Amino acid sequence: MSKPVNVADFRALAKNRLPKMVFDYLEGGAEDESGIRRNVNAFREVLFQPHRLVDVSVRDVTTTFFGKRQRLPLVIAPTGLNGIFWPDGDLALARAASRFGIPFALSTASTASIEQVARECDGELWFQLYVVHRKLASQLVRRAMDSGYTTLILTTDVGVNGKRERDMRNGFGFPLKYSLRTVFEGAIHPRWTADLLRHGIPQLANFADEQMQDTEIQAALMSRQMDASFSFDDLAWLRRLWPHKLLIKGLSRPADAERCIALGADGVILSNHGGRQLESAIAPLQTLQETASKLVAPVLLDSGVRRGSDVVKAVALGARAVLLGRATLYGLAAQGQEGVEAVLAILKDEIDRTLAQIGCASLSGLTSDYIWESGRKLPAREGNVVCLNGVNCVA
């Protein structure tokens, strides 16, 4: 392939480099995977209605949230097991984020520890929390606080693990299990295999610690299930535990977002886990405008972002920033930190081009006035007469 020019090109490179079972883990979703397609298609169905004769000779792609100026309206989303895509994958993502002046969110299921990322990477660090066990959760939160992480993300949409049928068919698990099939896949993907042999099989680094020797915590980890009892009533406990910015991720209902803010959250992330949990969930973009209209607090969004124009659409509909999952993982799996930075550069360029083409000189000037949504009812026409709602026809 010639030099990749978009996220889809990096996806093709990632698919070529990774064994099938590893690429399927990156790419796959719940059940028939219509949720993934819905996330992407939701952006395709939103169209721009550009303004013209506007001075766009200089564009500003910066944004502000939580009182900080940020160079792009992007965050690298928390994603697990990144070390199987590229050696020290979490560090590569965090360093790329720092280079572009955007936050990096570390997953509970990372293959680099909370402390290692803080020690070896500059830039703003966020930590994403899965509540597997309350005692374990409090330990992880304290470690993130002691390591200087600025923002905590509570993920709420994994009461049970989604049915990811690609992983089931491939026998994918962690740590990786060896079989004739995996050995064959490794043999026909020599670059990936050489990296794995050179750097060793990645581990869930946040759980490889003396603190994890508690028998209750070990039992919770062995079950590989989240604490499905965690509810709104428990949010106050987490709020007391974490004194910095707190975001609630995995929401799709405006009323749930309002309740989270009322209980002390500083913002929300609309998400359906990239289509990896509930196949038939609505796309986050579909509830963005309504949710943002009800909150003063920042609303962020993930799932389905593949283009800079997607980012512009999300900001126009009320998002303060978007989180990138698969898009930056394609870059990571293809070329490591260099690939992540290339994806971010592509998205930055596409954001800038889109602003110029719709007649908006800055992200801060975006509103829903720039959006025309396909499917919106147009006035019916009778000859040269426009009829509103089919009645009360006016010339």
**pLDDT digit string (tens) for 315-334?**
999 999 999 999 999 999 99
Percent of residues, the chain, with pLDDT higher than 90: 79
Q: Which class is 7-373 in CATH? A: alpha beta
pLDDT at 158 over 70: yes
**Contact predicate 123/98, CB 8 Å:** yes
Q: CA–CA separation, 277 vs 160, rounded Å?
A: 8
pLDDT at 263 over 80: yes
Task: Show the CA angle centred on residue 257, arms to residues 256 and 258, nearest 5°.
Answer: 90
**pLDDT digit string (tens) for 21-32?**
999 999 999 999
Q: CA–CA separation, 246 vs 172, rounded Å?
A: 33
pLDDT at 211 over 90: no
**pLDDT digit string (tens) for 61-87?**
999 989 899 999 999 999 999 999 999
Other Cβ atoms closer than 10 A to 311: 27
Q: What is the pLDDT of residue 118?
A: 98
Least confident piece of the model among 6-15, 178-187, 334-343: 178-187
Q: Where are the domains of the chain?
A: 7-373
Q: CA–CA separation, 199 vs 207, rounded Å?
A: 19
Q: What is the pLDDT of residue 382?
A: 42
**Contact predicate 270/301, CB 8 Å:** yes
Q: Looking at 51, 189, 244, 273, which residue is catalytic? A: 273
Active site residue 273: yes
pLDDT at 277 over 80: yes
Mean pLDDT in residue range 296-323: 98
Chain mean position to CA 301:
7
Q: What is the pLDDT of residue 393?
A: 39
